[in-house]
Amino acid sequence: MTHIVIVDDEADTHLLYKLKLKKLFSAWGEVTLTSFLKATDCLAFLKDPKNPQVDLILSDINMPEMDGFELLQEVKKLQKTMPIYVVSAYESTDFKSKAQSLGAARFLSKPVDFNALGEALRSDLNF
């Protein structure tokens, strides 16, 4: 079973990801999706040893309290090999470069191309 965490401050985005990812994974196997509206809640989840292992994080950049770049840095301190996809409506070279320099596995632009996301997941999670 694959466990993906979604972090985005827009609740509608969570529903879209869940619908699209469930459809993608129907051909690949079971997927568990956990979503958070705040990066700080995601970090608390990752730090709690009672929670299941996470295979990949999809995180927005622009969020209140803690942005996606800060989350990326904190997660990498906990789990260096955790693949993290950074997602943003702002497709700037600076954002892409910063995400890569902080260890993001992928930078995706909004609106997310779910076919491209599927191929990235297939590659990075070895389906």
Q: Which residue has the higher pLDDT, 24 or 78?
A: 78
Cis peptide before 111 (omega within 30 of 0): yes
pLDDT value for 1? 86
- Beta strands across the sheet bearing 31-36: 31-36, 2-7, 56-60, 84-88, 106-109
Q: What is the pTM of this model?
A: 0.93
Instruction: Encode pLDDT of 3-27 as tens digits.
Output: 999 999 999 999 999 999 988 888 7
What is the distance between the alpha carbons of residues 98 and 3, in angstroms, rounded to a whole number? 26
What is the predicted pLDDT for the residue at 90? Answer: 83
Question: What is the DSSP annotation of 29-79?
Answer: --EEEEEESSHHHHHHHHH-TTSPPP-EEEEES--SSS-HHHHHHHHHHH-
What percentage of the chain exceeds 90 in pLDDT?
Answer: 85
> Residue 102 and residue 85: Cα distance in Å, rounded?
11
pLDDT score of 65: 93
Domains contained in the chain, CATH given: 2-55+69-79+100-124 (3.40.50.2300)
Confidence of residue 73 (pLDDT cuts 50, 70, 90): very high
